[in-house]
A = this chain, B = another copy of it.
Amino acid sequence: MTTTHESTDAPEERLTATGSSLVAGEEVRGDAGELRAVDPSTGEPVGPVFALVGTDVVERATRAAADAFPVYRDLEPAARAAFLRRAADEVEAVGDEVVRLAGLETGLPAGRLAGELGRTVGQLRLFADVVEQGDHLRARLDTAQPDRTPLPRPDLRLVHVPVGPVAVFGASNFPLAFSVAGGDTAAALAAGCPVVVKAHGAHPATSELVGRAVARAVAAEGLPGGVFSLLFGPGTEVGQALVADPRITSVGFTGSRSGGRALMAAAAARPVPIPVHAEMSAVNPVVVLEPALGDPGALARDYVASLTLGAGQFCTSPGVLLLPAGPAGDAFAAAAAAAVREAVGQPMLTRGIREARERGAEALVGLADVEEVAGGSAGEGPNAPGPQLLTTTATAFTTRPELQEEVFGAVSLLVRYRGAAELVEAVTALQGQLTATLHAGAADAQGEDGAALVARVVPLLQERAGRVLFDGWPTGVEVSPAMVHGGPWPATSDGRTTSVGTLAIDRFLRPVCYQSAPQSVLPPSLHDDNPWGLVRRVDGVLRLPEVRS
C-alpha cells in the first residue's frame, strides 16, 4: 500500500535519505518493489531501501503538475528567477552530503562531483538570469493598420509560452548536472513548466536529497507543490507511464539509444503525440590532419587523457579518431597505445554499464578489420575495466556502420586513412554526433591542398554534429549561451535543440499569437508599455527599452 507523509524536513533530516518519492512536496512510499543503491567500487549495497511507486503515483504527480501549471506559468520573471535561485541555494546547502552520497553511489571522485555540483547550481542561477532577460519570449508586435487596403491589418502580438508539464529522466553518468535538478529540469522550470522527474536507479539517495532541496525551494517561494515531483519506480514501467500520461507535454531524456527509441515510440503512440528530447549516443569523432602531428606524443597523451576521463563515461568521450597512415600517424598511435597501457581503470557507474561496455568492446574487437592495439590494467573493485585502444582502416569504417557503434566507456577506435580522399569518404560516412573535432595544425597555411582539405572537411563535420571543435578535445561541456549539446540523429532524437546551455529553454516553449486583444488579457510581455523591459520587434523594427544586457 502506498503511504504518504508530510515532508518534515527538519534541518537534521535534510541530510538523510528516507527512500521515498516526492509528490508535490509529500513523501510517498509505494509498494511496487524495492531498490537499493550499490557502491560500484565494492559491489555492496549502500544507503536506505527505496519503496518504489507504481503508475497510480505517476498520475498523482502529473495531476499535481497540471494543477500547478497555470499558476507557475503566469509568474512574473522576477518570481520565477527567485525560485530558481532559491533551488540553487537549497541544493548548495546540502551540497557536501550530496557529494558524499553521490560518491558512494557512483564511484565518481569527490573532486569531479564537487565540480558537478557547482555546475548544477550554476546552471540554475544562469537560467534565472535568462528568465529575467526574456530573450526566450521572442516578443513581436505587429500594430494594427485599420486603413490598409484591400483589408485592414489587425493588431498581432506573438510571445513564446511554456508547453506544460514536462517529464525528465535522470541520467546515470551525471548524477547532479543531468539528473534531478540538472539541465532539462532547469530549462523546463525556467520556461515555466512544472517538472516530474523519474529518478535514475543508480544514485537514488543523491536524487532524493537534491529533490527535497528543490521541493523546499518550491515551498519557500509559496509555489504550488506540483511544480516539482520526483519518482522512484521499478524498471521501465513508471517511465513509460509518465511519457504516456495525457498531462505530460514534453520529455527530456539522456541515456541509451534503445532507451531513447522506446520513449520516442511511446510518445508517438499517444492519442496526442508529444516531442521527446533524447540525447543518446555519439562517438564524437576527432579528425587529425598530418600537419597537426608536429608533436605526436603530446597530442596522443591529450587524447588518452580525454578518453579515460571519468572512465570514458561522457556523452562526449572521443570514441573515434581519424589518423593519417604513415610515420607521423604511427608515432601518434604508438604513443597513444603506450599511454593506454599505463592507464588504470576507474570504477564504472554500475555493473550493468560495465557489462555493456565489455560486450560493446568485445563486439568491436570481434569485427573483421578491427584490431586491439593496447589495453590498460583493470582498477580496484569489480567494475573498473582498463581502457582499450582499437584500430581499423578508413575503408572498413566508411563502408560498415557497425564500426560506429558507441561503446560507453574508455574504448576508442583509431581509423587510419590514406590521403585526403579516404578521409573525406570516412567523414562523409559519419552518422550524427554531439561533437566533431578537427586538429588541422597549420594545414591552412600549408599550401592549397591543406587549405582545401580544411575547407572540405569543416562543413562535413558541421552537417553531422551539434558542436565543432578545433585543436581541443570534446570532453568538457561549458554551460553558457553559445553552447550546443545536441546534433543530428543518432546523437539525439532531433537536432533542433540543445540539452546544455541557455538555448535549452527553447525545447519547452511554443509560440502563441494574440489578435486584437485588449491590454487586460495580454501577458505583460506584450503590453504596450513593455513593463518587463524586453527587447521586442515592433513592426519588424528592433525596439530596446534602454541599453541593457
Task: Name A residues whose Cβ lies closer than 8 Å to a Cβ of B.
Answer: 70, 74, 115, 129, 133, 135, 138, 140-142, 150-151, 153-154, 156-158, 161, 163-164, 264, 268, 272-273, 275, 432, 444, 454-455, 458-459, 462-463, 465-472, 476, 478, 480-484, 486, 488-490, 493-498, 501, 503, 509-518, 520-521, 535, 537, 540-542, 544, 548-549
Contacts and interface: CB of A to CB of B under 8 A. Distances in A.
5 contacts: A158-B482, A272-B489, A466-B511, A484-B512, A488-B510
Contact of A161 (B268, B462, B467): B462
Contacts of A510: 466, 486, 488, 495-496
Nearest to A457: B521
Contacts of A497: 511
Contacts of A488: 272, 510
Contacts of A511: 466, 484, 486, 496-498, 503
A512 B468 contact: yes
Contacts of A503: 138, 140, 158, 511
A161 B462 CA distance: 9
B163 A495 contact: yes
Contacts of A133: 540
Question: Copies of this chain, how many?
Answer: 2
A517 B511 CA distance: 33
Contact of A142 (B480, B516, B520): B480
A467 B156 CA distance: 9
Contacts of A454: 520-521
Contacts of A515: 467-470, 472
A150 to B, nearest CB: 7
A157 B484 CA distance: 9
A272 B257 CA distance: 12
Contact of A482 (B157, B482, B521, B542): B157
Nearest to A496: B510
Given A470-B521, A549-B541, A273 B493 contact: yes
